[in-house]
């Protein structure tokens, strides 16, 4: 796996399977920073929401915090084709949509990293929903790929057992 967006059907197209109920109001910095990423507080052992970067601060290199939740890998780069698509999108002016319900996407993210795909989506959807949440992305690896396997088992001890529950091989990490 190269880390590029594969999309639902392997063609790089990303779909959102829900309707967006727009409040007709532009997303503010706080709403945009509230990304779907949580960490465990070391003292309370409870999940806490992570604050990320805004689209503007990320694009201007002011803030290098994540702009998406999930498996965020900033080392993955878009292809030249993917970079040109993002540049074209970022070069367009976007209006805040009117209040109401609408279907979002799909977005053609072929050749793009998950981060660049998310930047394109966040540039297009500039309004908050009726709960005053900005659009968010959650990056994940396609089931069966090497990266999916690595993120599932990284740092874990794997114990191999037979059908009777007896260990059959030496346990390994990862």
- Is residue 157 within 8 A of residue 145, CB to CB? The reply is no
pTM strictly above 0.85: no
- Is residue 109 within 8 A of residue 13, CB to CB? The reply is yes
- Is residue 99 within 8 A of residue 128, CB to CB? The reply is no
pLDDT digit string, tens, across residues 11-47: 888 888 778 999 999 999 988 888 765 566 677 777 7
For 80, the token pair is 């030249």
Q: Flag whether pLDDT at 132 surpasses 70.
A: yes
């Amino acid at each position: 796996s190269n880390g590029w967006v594969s999309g639902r059907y392997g063609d790089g197209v990303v779909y959102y399977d829900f309707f967006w109920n727009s409040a007709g109001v532009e997303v503010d910095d706080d709403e945009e920073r509230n990304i779907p990423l949580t960490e465990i507080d070391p003292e309370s052992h409870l999940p806490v929401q992570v604050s990320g970067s805004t689209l503007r601060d990320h694009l201007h290199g002011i803030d290098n915090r994540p702009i998406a939740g999930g498996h965020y890998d900033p080392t993955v780069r878009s292809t030249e084709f993917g970079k040109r698509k993002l540049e074209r999108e970022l070069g367009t002016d976007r209006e805040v949509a009117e209040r109401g319900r609408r279907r979002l996407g799909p977005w053609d993210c072929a050749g793009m990293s998950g981060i660049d795909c998310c930047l394109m989506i966040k540039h297009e959807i500039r309004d908050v929903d009726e709960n005053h949440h900005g659009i968010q992305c959650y990056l994940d690896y396609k089931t069966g790929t090497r990266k999916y396997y690595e993120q599932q088992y990284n740092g874990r001890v794997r114990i191999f057992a037979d059908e009777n529950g007896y260990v059959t091989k030496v346990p390994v990490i990862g």
